[in-house]
Amino acid sequence: MSNPVSKNSRAIELIVAQRLGPAQRQELSTQVLARSASICQIARQNQASRKFLQSPKPS
């Protein structure tokens, strides 16, 4: 059985990720590559999913 709260938080993460501009995406990528914090922490701080942060994006 799925959790409605979990589905709602994923929807919010998707909306936030879609609204990020190129500079913001680049900053998040830099944080992930620099390992300034764990991917989980970066995702939580920016309301993005780990999947979003871990997936490669075309340039």
- Identify the pLDDT of residue 48: 83
Copy the structure tokens of residue 17: 């990720």
Helix or strand run (H / E) with residue 26: helix 22-34
HSE of 3, CA atoms in CB hemisphere, 13 A: 4
Write down the domain spans for the chain.
4-54
For the whole model, what pTM was predicted? Answer: 0.64
**Residue of higher predicted confidence among 38 and 1:** 38
pLDDT beyond 80 at 58: no
User: What's the mean pLDDT in 37-58?
Assistant: 84
Q: How far apart are CA 46 and CA 43, in angstroms?
A: 5
The rounded Cα 39 to chain-centroid distance in angstroms is 9
Q: How far apart are CA 57 and CA 5, in angstroms?
A: 28
Residue % of the chain over a pLDDT of 70: 68
Q: Which of 1-5, 6-10, 24-28, 31-35 has the lowest mean pLDDT?
A: 1-5
